Structure formats: C-alpha cells, structure tokens
Amino acid sequence: MHRMAYGYRVFVCSNMAFAGELWLQNAKTSLGQEVNVWSVQNEPSNSTSYDSANYTPAQFINFVTGYLKPAMTSAGLTTKIAVPEPSVWGGPSYFDSNWGFPILQNQPQMDADVDIMATHDYGANSSLASPSQAALQYNKPMWQTEVYSGHSYNGSISDALSWADSIHGALSTGNFSAWFYWWSLDPYNDNQALIAYNNSTWTFQIPKRVYAIGNFSRFMRPGSVVLTSSSSSSNIEATAVMPTSGSVTLALANTSKSSITVTVSLSNLATPPSTVTPFRTSSTENQAPLTPIPVSGGSFTITIPASSIVTLVG
C-alpha cells in the first residue's frame, strides 16, 4: 500500500531514550494522541552548525534495539520508528549499500523494531523512480521526507513539472509510500519553501509547484493505493491511485512543449466511473476545475496542454 503522507517530523539528536520517552508521553498528553512517527535522527552523516548528531548503521541498531524500542514498549507507546533519513538518497545502490542492508540484513530485532525506512532526496542521483531493494526485501514502507531545490526563487511551471516528475517516479515505480517537500512557508523570500514570504514587505509569492504538488496531494489522500499505470508517450507521465473515496484518481503530466491528445483506458477497476472531472495546472491555471468527461466502455479521450498537469477524479 502506498500513501501520500503529511505530518510532523520529530527528531532525536542524541541517544537519550528515556528523555525521548518522556517527550512522547508529554506529547500524547498535550495533543490527545500519540506522535505517529518518530525519526531517530535527521541526516545522520551530516555535522552542522545547528543541532545534529552522527549515527552509523551499527549505532542505529544499538540505540533502537537496546534503548529506544524497549523504553517505548515499557511506556506503552506505539509510535512508529523511522530510520535512517540521510540527506542523500543517491538511488537504491547508494542507499541500500550504505544504509538499507547494513541496518536490516541479519538483524532480526532491528527488522522487528523499525517500521519505516526514510531518506531525503538531495544529491546528484536524486531520482526516486527505482525502489530500495532493502525496503522491498524486508517489507518496509519507504518515505522521502525532505527536499527542495536552489536558493533563488523559481515560481515557473517548469519547476512545478520537476516536482510532479519526482512524485510520479516515487509512487509509480519507486515503491515510495510518502513524499514530503521541505518547508511549507519561510521568511527568507527564497526557493526553500512552498510559499515564499518576504519579511520586509510582508508579501507572499506562491509558486506553481504548490498547485502541481497539490495535483497529487489534494486528491491522493493518505490511504490511497497506487494502481499500475503506463503511458505509450514518453512525454506523458501517468500516476494512478485507488483513492479513499471514489474509484480512481489519475494524474497526467505533459512534460513536452506541445499539447498531446491521449485515450485513457481504465481496466480492472471494481466500479469504473461514468465520468471523470479534470483539474488542470498550467502556466495560467491553478488546479482549474474543467467540464467532466464521460467514460464509455472504460475509456475516454483528453487533450493535455503543453507543460501542464491534469488530475482526473472519478
């Protein structure tokens, strides 16, 4: 099962399992519910000017199995544990050899204690389209939990399409269960956040990536199950899910400079929709709702404008 997931990230910066247990208990009391996921350490191979800590795979294993999980079990906490969350994904060859297999292979207690494998999506080989073999072998959901690109503001549709491509690869072929952007808003008027806020002029800039990411996250809610999809055009990226309500949600991204007319065939759906409603993001549109399209015999035809993303909801 794949999910587009959103929520808080909680990091532990030292191996103080008892302090962490108290924090989780206090959070449960204050929030009225447990923290869903606890990431043991943010970017464990980075030494920074802000709070940080270095972990090796062996140290992760020692801390989680020897201290953290026993303390959580003793306290009756069921918060899920995520590791290792390095800054560099680097593709499965890097992640698996440096983190995935060293953490999970021949480590039955660690396998039992860890719920989620996590990574950030920085580095030269940032494509999420190939799955972690370690996560597959040990049946762990794989989450991408932080990414942004560049420090100069870029609100263009081309930037937006690059994020649609990342999400498409993660869900369609990368076997990722969650994809997170970095900040939702920051005061630096740069490119780190979804929304750029100028602290001097008190003005906002909303880039196209907000709407492009929303073409997925608005309609593919937590609990949605990714469906097998394929495209006969190298310029059309198709990402389909069985949503939590309705029968199908399909995101089609046209990465080319020309409009493309496609015929979509829906098969193996328990209840095929009679119509699908398009929502389009382009250089001039922000998830614009369009006229519903009738579905006949399980198929329909639609034209996807150049450099746009259309999500069809049925």
Write out the chain's pLDDT in tens, 314 residues. 344 443 333 333 334 566 667 788 888 888 888 999 999 999 999 998 988 899 999 999 999 999 999 999 999 999 999 999 999 999 999 999 999 999 999 999 999 999 999 999 998 777 999 999 999 999 999 999 999 998 899 999 999 999 999 999 999 999 999 999 999 998 888 899 999 998 888 999 999 999 999 999 999 999 999 999 989 999 999 999 999 988 999 999 999 999 999 999 998 888 889 999 999 999 999 999 999 999 999 999 999 999 999 999 99
Q: Is 299 left (phi over 0), alpha (psi -120 to 50) or beta?
A: beta
Q: What is the pLDDT of residue 17?
A: 61
Cα distance between residue 102 and residue 62, in whole Å: 12
**What domains appear along the chain, each with residue ranges and CATH number?**
17-226 (3.20.20.80), 236-313 (2.60.40.1180)
Q: pTM of the entire structure?
A: 0.92
* Most distant pair of Cα atoms in the chain: their distance: 60
Q: What is the pLDDT of residue 11?
A: 36
Burial class (CB in 10 A: 0-12, 13-18, 19+), 254: buried
Cα distance between residue 176 and residue 92, in whole Å: 12
Look up residue 200 and give its DSSP letter. Answer: T
Nearest residue to 42 via CA among 180, 150, 145: 145
Does the N-terminal peptide bond of residue 57 adopt cis geometry, omega within 30 degrees of 0?
no
Residues 17, 38 contacting (CB under 8 angstroms): no
Beta strands in the chain (DSSP E): 37-39, 80-84, 116-119, 142-144, 176-179, 183-186, 193-198, 203-205, 225-227, 236-242, 249-254, 260-265, 275-281, 288-289, 293-294, 299-304, 308-313
Q: Which residues contact 151 (CB under 8 A, 6 or more apart)?
A: 190, 191, 192
**3-class SS of residue 194:** strand
Q: What is the pLDDT of residue 9?
A: 38
Question: Bridge-partner residues for 241, per DSSP?
Answer: 226, 249
Q: What is the pLDDT of residue 18?
A: 62
